[in-house]
Amino acid sequence: YGQLISPIDYLTNISDLIFVADDVSEVEFYYHDGQDYVKVGDMSKDPIYAKLFNITWIDASGDTEASSGDVIRIMFNITNVLGYNGEYEYYIIADFDSPTPTITVGGGTENYEDGMIADPSTPISFNSNEIKTFGSRHYSWEDYFNLFDSSYMSHNYYPDDYSSAWTMNPLNMFNIFPTSTTTELWDNWSPPNYDPTQNTVSFNNGDFNSQVIPTIDIPEQPIDFDLTEGTSDWAGNLGTSSGYNFIITSSIKPENTHLWWEIDNSGVIYAVDSTDNRNLYKTTDKGNSWSLVASRIKDIKSGSYDVDDGLIYFGDCDGSQFTAWYLDIASDSITEVGSNSGTNLELNSVWEVAGDIYATVMVDSIVYTYLWSGSSWTVDNTEPGYNMGIMTMAYWGSFYGLGSDNLLPTWTVRDPIFSNVYIYFYSTEYSSFVIAHNLLGTGEMDIPSDKNRSKLIPFGGRDYVFILQNTTDQKYYYYISKLQGEDLSRYEMNISLIQNGPTTGKAFHVSEYEVYSTDSEGELILQDTPNLDAPIIAMTENYIMTSNGKLYEYVESYTTFDSSAVYNLIGTSAIKPENTHLWWETDNLGTIYAVDSTDNRNLYKTTNKGSTWNLITTRTKNIARAYPDLTNGVIYFIDCEYDES
């Protein structure tokens, strides 16, 4: 979280100490008197650069009763923005005496005071007579795991007070197949009600069959002809096939997929017109007709849907001024919030949280978070930004799907150090952006400038999926980030994400005619390959619109009477992985790589679903982390050996 940057080796009697820290709210300074730590005082946060904390130690010699050359032990107790505490200890050499420097001319034996003249080649040396050394330090930082099942996981501190161990207990595996058989005689059972003019129904010994009576006589095919593939066009109301059905060519197209909103699955849609972003339209009949709801002075840049309260919060901006307002969808009445002026304004979002209205604006790569006071906008926070993306555009219950009711639905990424992308969320509790995920190996990535690709979607609590663009080859990648970014997967996919619930999402391919949904692990599941004639530009829960204005509705039906998916026991494997993040299935053919749980230095491979394993490599240190790049067929590893010192 931080470090002491001044002083770094010697401590004088009067010293200015500077400590730099990220996401820290308070720093306390102590010295050790030989028995215990004594508090000097609270360090002051720099009013301009909030990461710096300062304090002046007036009488270090008197406080510590130390002499020059003694080792002085100091400690910083920090509190981060989430309320956790940690200690940073340093050992610094005391230097309370004045220096006694010497200057030597020549080799030290010549006398330049009696007329001897030095020339340009005469060596001159300066000796401060101070011994240079570097202080030592160690940390005692406690991050408490308070959200785990003690039957699966245990936490232990070692006696040195600076080491921790978290142990995952093995899960109990058991066969879920039934151990008994029940026979059903099907006595006195008859098929359900049906229209015999439309269907033929039969039931025999537990087998149920139902068929629609064909209206066209299909002649019998030749014996050597086998039709195994084909296409269908379901145009009536039979609903016999799930998929997207064409409704109408709409006269209104949304500016992007985040600037239209489907209301209550009732065919009501609001959309910001792509031809004039100042206009907001509404349809109540699935795009057959549109009515103008609002015509603004400036372009509508954002909108967030408060599902529970039936309000949509909008933000207008023309670069020199932004204005916030909201629409009551029950009456289409508009309430103006207020405006704020500036230069080079790029409005990101406007939303309401716990009764307060916030707006996020970027000005020359600086992120400004504004809070509406009731009469004017006040700056709640300013932060150097790298880029900003779109978070959820809808409000479910008491939070935006982020796991906390004080995190706002906007996200920013920054790449200040280590060449990684960092994901930050804005906390209303601390009025600052707080780091959520550190994405290793993402130095060449950035949020796409295309609004259709800049969405982040939460799933599973505090895990997220999103799109990043490689700034070198300009390709787009779908990321699944878990465990604050430690478990990171990516796939090269040119898709656009939307959110259709607090922790669920959907996606459409930008160029291919494909629609996806996300599962509980963030993986994309192909939902449909609709029969389209133009690329998809926008999507809601039940509708998609293509670039030529055609509106399609998703119709779902159930035609399978019996289906099941179960795990079948293959065998008992000789190799078990160290944990679920240290084994990888690289194809669907039974190829698996695994770090051996009995010796973490060994990497094994099986090509027959675990029947046999081959040793790939034996490392000198334990394999600690790995990052699979399945697109390029590469797995990156990190070995690490714990050093007690």
Query: pLDDT tens digit string along 140-150?
Result: 444 554 555 66
Paired tokens of 216:
């066209």
Paired tokens of 83:
């309320």
Q: Please tell me the predicted confidence (pLDDT) of residue 28.
A: 96
489 in Cβ contact with 479 (< 8 Å):
yes
R_g over Cα of the chain: 33
- Which burial class, exposed, middle or buried, applies to 496 when counting CB atoms under 10 A from its CB (0-12, 13-18, 19+)? buried
How long a stretch of residues is the chain? Answer: 645
d(CA 116, CA 122): 11
Of the three residues 343, 361, 384, the one that is the final residue of a domain is: 384
Of the three residues 321, 349, 384, the one that is the final residue of a domain is: 384
The band of 230, judged by pLDDT with boundaries at 50, 70 and 90, is very low
Q: What are 291-348's pLDDT values in tens digits?
A: 999 999 999 998 888 887 889 999 999 999 999 999 999 999 999 999 999 999 988 8
Residue 439 is assigned to a structural domain of this protein: no
Residue 117 is assigned to a structural domain of this protein: yes
Q: Please tell me the predicted confidence (pLDDT) of residue 443.
A: 75
pTM: 0.50
Residue 119 is assigned to a structural domain of this protein: yes
pLDDT beyond 90 at 56: yes
Q: In this structure, what is the dihedral angle of CA atoms 572, 573, 574, 577, given to the nearest 10 degrees?
A: -140
Paired tokens of 575:
């190799």
Local structure of residue 193 (DSSP, 8 states): P
**Of the given ranges (202-211, 400-409, 475-484, 573-582), which has the lowest mean pLDDT?**
400-409
194 in Cβ contact with 202 (< 8 Å):
no
Q: What is the mean pLDDT of residues 24-30?
A: 94
Q: In this structure, what is the dihedral angle of CA atoms 346, 351, 353, 359, given to the nearest 10 degrees?
A: 20
Looking up residue 357, the CATH number of its domain turns out to be 2.40.128
Q: What are 566-621's pLDDT values in tens digits?
A: 466 777 888 988 888 888 887 777 789 999 999 999 999 998 888 899 999 999 99
pLDDT beyond 50 at 395: no
CB count, 10 Å around CB of 221? 9
Q: Please tell me the predicted confidence (pLDDT) of residue 242.
A: 61
Residue 278 is assigned to a structural domain of this protein: no
d(CA 552, CA 546): 8
Residue 508 is assigned to a structural domain of this protein: no
- Expressed as residue numbers, the domain containing 117 is 2-166
Residue 420 is assigned to a structural domain of this protein: no
pLDDT beyond 60 at 224: no
Most confident of 33-47, 90-104, 182-196: 33-47
Q: Please tell me the predicted confidence (pLDDT) of residue 617.
A: 95
E strand or H helix that includes residue 29: strand 24-32
Residue 162 is assigned to a structural domain of this protein: yes
d(CA 370, CA 357): 8
Pinpoint the alpha helices (H) of 46-181.
Answer: 60-64
Average pLDDT, the chain: 78
Looking up residue 20, the CATH number of its domain turns out to be 2.60.40.10
Residue 576 is assigned to a structural domain of this protein: no
Q: What are 428-454's pLDDT values in tens digits?
A: 777 776 767 777 777 778 888 787 787
Most confident of 38-47, 346-355, 486-495: 38-47
Q: What are 158-178's pLDDT values in tens digits?
A: 554 455 666 666 654 445 555
258 in Cβ contact with 393 (< 8 Å):
yes
Of the three residues 136, 166, 196, the one that is the final residue of a domain is: 166
Q: Please tell me the predicted confidence (pLDDT) of residue 247.
A: 86
Q: Are 162 and 301 members of one domain?
A: no
Domain count for the chain, please give it. Answer: 3
